[in-house]
Amino acid sequence: MGEFSTSERDGHILTVTINRPEVMNALHPAANAELAGTWDEFQNDPDLWVAIITGAGDRAFSAGNDLKHQASGGDMSGQPASGFAGLTARFDLDKPVIAAVNGVAMGGGFEIALSCDIIVASEQAVFALPEPRVGLAALAGGLQRLPRMIPLKQAMGMILTGRRVGAEEGKQLGFVTDVAPHAELMDRARSWAAQILECSPASVRASKQTVMRSLDIANLEESMKLGQYPAIGDLFRSPDFVEGPLAFAQKRPPQWKG
């Protein structure tokens, strides 16, 4: 139990909750640093294979940067190198992270969700990058990630106006994976996590690393050279590489080691 967030283990799943509902789960440097420590532990724990991040309460996933803290002269030192919520600049996390967006995801809150691999949104969720409306810019990855996920003209329509987009439109645009009734959001997110756990964790890590790193390589042939993805080698050396085909041949569920 942290001061600004909570975390709960359930088998191989870690659920992280931003716990500042009184400010719509907005984040200041101390909260970002605390969350960074949580993600460090997740990254380094071999028994944790999938994570879910959500926000406390029914109003907000995260309203982004705590502007009131900043405007009132609050301490702005101590921002973690891994970025907003300890996630937006964490480029070496090969384990999958699911964002369960339970309400407002504005600015940095939207950027947290965009840094995750899957976004499951409540029907009440609202997304926006409103920074230009307050003289700022979405510099925690929003300006880079959103145009990589949806068509450029649609991304620019959101970025240049700061307009709000609901969950269903977000799914139509392509940055939301799944939309759930509000009361069923966490069950739906856990269902996605359970489906991931049906797969080999070594395979999942290798797949995520290959996808994310290959996005930086424009040439298709070059992007398919496996030697540049260390997690592929880890997969080939993993017990899962033997267990998967063996379990299939024996018509039984695989016993993954990770």
- Residue 223: CB atoms within 10 Å: 16
Task: Establish whether 222 is a catalytic residue.
Answer: no
According to DSSP, the β-strands at 13-18 and 5-10 are: antiparallel
> Rounded to whole angstroms, how far apart are CA atoms 26 and 18?
9
For 114, the token pair is: 């965009």
Distance CA 254, CA 243 (A): 6
**How far is the CA of 177 from the CAs of 19, 111, 170, 211, in angstroms?**
24, 15, 9, 17
Q: Which of 8, 131, 184, 222 is catalytic?
A: 131
Cα angle: 238, vertex 190, 170; to 5 degrees? 105
State which H helix or E strand residue 128 sits in. Answer: strand 126-128
Judge contact between 37 and 31, C-beta under 8 A: no
Quick check: is 111 catalytic?
Answer: yes
For the chain, the straight-line distance linking the first and the last C-alpha, in angstroms and rounded, comes to 27
Token pair of 178, please? 């799944």
DSSP 130-156: -GGGGT---TTTHHHHHHHHS-HHHHH
Tally the residues of the chain. Answer: 258
3, 8, 111, 221: which one is catalytic? 111
Please list the active-site residues.
Answer: 111, 131
